[in-house]
Amino acid sequence: MGRLPDVTAGDLARMLAERIEQLAPVCLPLGYYDKKMNAWRCGDVFGAKPKDGSLFVWYGGPRRGRYIDFALRGGAVKDHWSGDALELVCQSRCNGDKSKAFRWALDYLGLQAMDQGERDRLKQEAANRAAEATRRAEERRAQEEEASRKKAQGRFLEAQEIILGTPVDAYLRGRGIDMRRFGRMPTGLRFHPSLWNVELQGRSPAMVWAISGESGFMGLHRTWLEVHADGRVTKHRGVKDNKKVMGQQKGGHIALWRGEQPDPETGELRMNPPIRKAAGERPILSEGVEDGLTSALVNRTRRHLATVNAGNIFDLWLPEGVVPGTLLMQREGNPEAERLQGEILAFAEDRWPGILAGWPPEGFKDINDAYCAALAGKGM
């Protein structure tokens, strides 16, 4: 039995996916159906007993027919952790032999006995259903993202615009950042007196920042705060993952400070224009809010943007003509974080030639730590 010239591996994978409810138990007979996940579960792609059932063969949606082994994903084993239905056959039934898997699939699907017209019909039907599943999934994802964005915007609008005298004000002052020195508040910063947190299973005061992008408001950056008996305000000790995003963040930024310039005629300080009209500016980028605000205190003329998280810089949207001039770095102190920082810096230097890396002094994690130490007379 040889290969059919009119059938590709992709065709076989899609046609096998059409029969995945029958195929998965054949490939992994020791597995079981997980109704909640709508997937066939097993210990691994070679058919081991389920144990924790880390391998899933998906029965629905755009992933239908594909498998993933969560125990292997991101680990030292690079092969076999995910694949399509033909790869499932290859690993589970054919000992990794792709040619044998191709022949096995042809026989399982009965394609050898069909004429070309029938094979073409089956291929087209499988391709059409796969495309429709992808379209429905993308439509559903877009609807969910928009609902999440609107919910985040609602939380932002219900928060308090005036932050002076609130726990947000006290928290930032505890980090050496007195917002009064700016003379005006960033419009994207608000105080929420009672924001729900899943970890706490309750409500807590929170600092919230608007995340903006090409389409406008995208999401909400949230930091839950704890007010102590002595008046101090810190990040909430009961929240392990304190800085969370509601809505969307990919490609977005937090507008920390627009920058200001003296009017050439009156000398009066005026805010820089909105970012969409800021062609020619070289803003300062930071990962964290506190680092960016610290820098803004001593670089009042420069626009400051926070990238929400380190990896978001790879997708960061900026209007045409706005080219970052400085990227504030942090000393993370672990190899994986340092590797990511190296990739980020290389990317930034390639995308924005001439950008400078702003490192904190030795012995400090970030510039806010160094600034606080200087204020306390303990460093610098």
- Summarised one tens digit per residue, pLDDT across range 58-94 is 998 888 999 998 877 654 444 568 899 999 999 999 9
**E-only strand ranges, the chain:** 32-34, 39-42, 55-58, 67-69, 82-83, 189-197, 202-213, 216-227, 233-235, 243-247, 254-257, 260-262, 269-271, 284-286, 304-306, 326-328, 356-358
Mean pLDDT confidence for 167-180: 96
Which residues, in sequence order, are CB contacts of 11 under 8 Å at separation 6+?
Answer: 123, 126, 127
Contacts of residue 223, Cβ cutoff 8 Å, sequence gap at least 6: 171, 206, 207, 208, 235, 242, 243, 289
pLDDT on residue 134: 78
In this structure, is the dihedral angle defined by the CA atoms of residues 291, 294, 296 and 298, taken in order, positive or negative?
A: negative
pLDDT for the residue 45: 81
Give the pLDDT score at 52: 65
Give the pLDDT confidence score for residue 5 in this predicted structure: 64
pLDDT at residue 380 greater than cutoff 70: no
Cβ(328)–Cβ(367) under 8 Å? yes
Q: Mean pLDDT across the chain, nearest whole number?
A: 90
- The predicted model gives 86-107 an average pLDDT of 92
At which residue do the structure tokens 């039934």 appear?
93
Q: Give the global pTM.
A: 0.73
The answer on pLDDT for 201 being more than 50 is yes
Over residues 225-249, mean pLDDT: 92
> 35-44, 122-131, 267-276, 338-347: lowest mean pLDDT where?
122-131
pLDDT of residue 111: 87
CA distance 75 to 366: 30
Which residues fall within 8 angstroms of residue 92, CB to CB, at 6 or more apart?
27, 28, 45, 46, 47
Q: What percent of the chain has pLDDT over 90?
A: 69
Report pLDDT for 77.
43
Helix (H) or strand (E) holding 71: none
pLDDT score at 75: 46
Helix or strand holding residue 126 (H, E): helix 116-158
pLDDT of residue 310: 87
The pLDDT score that the predictor gives to residue 79 is 57
For the ranges 70-74, 193-197, 301-305, the lowest mean pLDDT is seen at: 70-74
Q: Mean pLDDT, to the nearest integer, of 34-51?
A: 82
Q: What would the two tokens of residue 206 be?
A: 């929170």
pLDDT higher than threshold 50 for residue 164: yes
190 dihedral zone (left: phi>0; alpha: psi -120 to 50; beta): beta
pLDDT-based confidence at residue 149 (cuts at 50, 70, 90): very high
Q: Is the pLDDT at 378 greater than 80, yes or no?
A: no
Q: Per mean pLDDT, which range of 93-107, 129-143, 362-376 is the poorest?
A: 129-143
Answer whether residue 379 shows pLDDT above 60.
Answer: no
The pLDDT confidence band at residue 4, using thresholds 50, 70 and 90, is low
In this predicted model, what pLDDT tens digit does every residue of 332-372 receive, in sequence order? 888 888 888 889 999 999 999 999 999 999 999 999 999 99
- In this predicted structure, the answer to whether residue 1 has a pLDDT above a threshold of 50 is no
Residue 76's pLDDT is 42
Q: Does an H or E element contain 123, and which?
A: helix 116-158
